[in-house]
């Protein structure tokens, strides 16, 4: 598990830091969206499924679920501090100040900005990413299995 997690998590960390840097220098909102970890929730499950499918694992769907869930949790834990820092320093990037989950602006209490909103976002996104990843990864595993049965070479 550790082997297949390493590079996706490194890429996620780079994206988290890169997006914050872009937001702080005032890059266009469209560019900032490209550097979100949410895109990885579509791509990484395919990578996990291919790696797990080629490993000969006895319970590939169980391993896929564990990998996707851990990846989702780890990435959301990486993103949580950005919301805390946004509240602390009152960053005005649209992600922090214009969305319904905003942590910057009028009416956001310290409890909301430091704890409730970051934790709620992490839980909701981890659940969504896990469900999405398991569906995408399972489809990938099923396609790989079907291809292996047709062409056992």
| pLDDT, average across residues 7-16 | 98
Q: What per-residue confidence (pLDDT) applies to 152? A: 61
Question: Which candidate, 43, 36, 34, 48, places its Cα nearest to that of 6?
Answer: 48
Domain span including residue 34: 2-150
Question: Packing angle between helix 117-150 and helix 60-89, nearest 10 degrees?
Answer: 150
pLDDT in tens, 115-127: 999 999 999 999 9
Q: What per-residue confidence (pLDDT) applies to 7? A: 97
CA distances (Å), 107 to each of 13, 28, 98, 103, 141, in order?
Answer: 30, 26, 13, 9, 46
Those residues with Cβ within 8 angstroms of residue 124's Cβ, 6 or more apart along the chain or in another chain: none
Domain count, the chain: 1
pLDDT in tens, 87-125: 999 998 888 987 777 899 888 999 999 999 999 999 999
Question: Which candidate, 39, 40, 66, places its Cα nearest to that of 52?
Answer: 66
Question: What are 109's two structure tokens?
Answer: 């209490």
pLDDT at 44 exceeding the cut of 70:
yes
pTM score of the predicted model: 0.91
């Amino acid at each position: 598990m550790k082997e297949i997690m390493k590079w996706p998590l490194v890429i996620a960390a780079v994206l988290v830091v890169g997006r914050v840097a872009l937001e702080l220098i005032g890059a266009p909102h469209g560019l900032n969206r490209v550097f979100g970890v949410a895109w990885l929730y579509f791509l990484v499950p395919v990578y996990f499924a291919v790696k797990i499918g080629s490993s000969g694992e006895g319970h590939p769907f169980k391993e896929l679920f564990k990998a996707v869930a851990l990846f989702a949790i780890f990435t959301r834990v990486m993103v949580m501090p950005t919301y805390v820092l946004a509240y602390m320093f009152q960053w005005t990037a649209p992600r922090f100040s214009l969305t319904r989950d905003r942590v910057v602006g009028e009416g956001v209490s310290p409890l909301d900005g430091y704890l409730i909103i970051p934790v709620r976002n992490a839980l909701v996104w981890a659940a969504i990413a896990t469900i999405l990843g398991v569906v995408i990864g399972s489809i990938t595993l099923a396609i790989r299995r079907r291809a292996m049965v047709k062409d056992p070479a």
